[in-house]
Structure 1
Amino acid sequence: MQVWIGRNGERFGPYEEGEVRQWLRDGTCRPDELGWYEGMTDWRPLGELYPDDRPAMGSVPPVPPPFMGVTDVAEPEYAGFWLRFGAWVIDYLILMVPFTVISLSMGLGAAMTTLLSQFENDQAAALAAYAAALQPITFVLLTLGFVYYAFFESSKWQATPGKMAVGIRVTDTEGRRISVARAAGRNAIRLVNAFTFLVPMIFYVTAAFTQRKQGVHDLLASTYVLTGRADKTVAAPAPRGGHGGSFDA
C-alpha cells in the first residue's frame, strides 16, 4: 500500500507503508504529521494510522529531517500545447459527425445551392441570404459543442473523448474534478472562438508559454489540464480540518 504524507504545507509521496512505519519508529516522521492512502475519506495523523509504530510513551521524537533522497513532492505534470492540440483535433473529428447531420437536416445543402445559383446575379444579396440561413445552424452547433465539452470535462472522466484518447484531464487548481458550473464557465469563455479568428489562437497558444501551461480560458476559470487519465490516476484529496489538524498543499 502506498501512503502520502503532509508536512509543512506540502504533500509528499507516495511511499511504501513499510517506509512510513520505519520513519515513525526512528523519528523521521512525527506521529502528528498527516497521512492518507487510497480508500480513506480524510487525512489522519500518522500516529493514529500506525499506533504500533509510535515512539514509546514519554519519549520525545527528534525534529524530523527533510526526506533526504526520497522527496517526491506530488507535483502534477501539466499537459503541453501539442497534447492539447491533439485532443482538440480528435474532438473536432468526433463532433463533425453530428455537426454534419444537423447542418444538412437544417438546410445547409439548400442554402449552398441557393448561394451558388444567385451569386452571379447579385453577390451581396446571395451572401446575405446565406449568412441568414447559417445563423440558426451556427447557434445549434455552438450549443452542442458547449454541452459536449462542459458535460465531459465535469464528468467522472474529467475529459472529453479527445482528451481521454491522449491521456489528459481537466482539474481545478487543487487537482480535483471541476464542477458543472466551472466547466460551463470555462467553455463559455471558449465560445469567443466563434466570433473571431485571432482570439482563439491566443487562448490556446498561451498554454505553450505560461508556467502551468494554461490557456486563457484555464487562467480565467482557475483550471489546469494535467497528464494522466482520471480513471488511472490516484490523487490525494485536499485535506480538511478536524481531528489531528490539516495542511494546505
Structure 2
Amino acid sequence: MANLLSPTTASPLETVPAVGRRTGWAAAWSRPAFRLRLALVLALLVGLLPVVPGFYHFIQARPGHLLADPLLALLPVHDVSVPTFAIIYGAIAGTFAYLLPRPNLLLRALWGYYFLQVLRMATLWLLPLEPPTTLVVLHDPVMDRIFEVTTQPIVRDLFFSGHTATMALLVLAVRGRAWRRALVLMTVAVGLLVLVQRVHYTYDVLAAPLFAWLAYWLAGRITKRQPAVHEPILF
C-alpha cells in the first residue's frame, strides 16, 4: 500500500520536450501492438456481456455455505445503496476522465478489469456461499437492469467483493499521490458500506484488493512491452 501512495517518478521520456514527436493517442495509435491489444481487450469485454447474466443466475440458483463472521456482527445493518453507488460510479467516471488522455494506462486498466471479471467468476464458481442472514438487498441502478433482478436479486455472488475490487483496481490504474489517496479513501468507504448492508462477508472485502492487484499485474504482463508514451501526470 505504501507504493500506491508514494510519489510517481517521471520516466525519461516525460522530461523530454514534446516538440517534434507525437504524444498520447497519436503515438500509441501509431503502434500496431497497441491497436491489436486494445481491439482484443474490447472484444473480450464485449464477449463477456452475453455470458455474465446467465452465469450469475446460475450462481444465484446454486445453494452455498453460510459462514461465521464475528467482525461483521460488530457493524450496524442499514440500506446504504445510494451512497455506495454514488461513490462507485463517481470514482469510475473520474478515473475514466483521468485515463482517457493516457492511452497506455487506459489499456492496462481495461485488461485489468477483464482479468478481474474472469478471476471473480472463477472464485464464485469454486466457492458457493450463502449471504449473511441479515442481508439487505443492494440496489444497483445499472446492474439491476442488466441482470433483471427485480424479481430475483443476485445475492450469492460473494467471494470476492466485486465492488471493493473494482475500486481497488481504480487505485492501481491512476498515478499521482492525490488521486490515489482519494481513491483509497473511497475504496475503504465502499468496503465498509457493503459490510453495513451485509451483502458481503468481511473475508470477501479483505480479499478484494489482493485480486485487484493480481488482475492489474496480469494486465501489466500483457501490456508491458508497449514503448513508453508521453503521458503527463496531473496531481
**What's the TM-score bracket when you normalise by the shorter of the two chains?**
under 0.3
TM-score by length of 1: 0.26
Q: Which one has the largest radius of gyration?
A: 1
Q: Which has the higher contact order (CA 8 A, sep 6+)?
A: 2
- Choose between structure 1 and 2: higher helix proportion: 2
- Choose between structure 1 and 2: higher strand proportion: 1
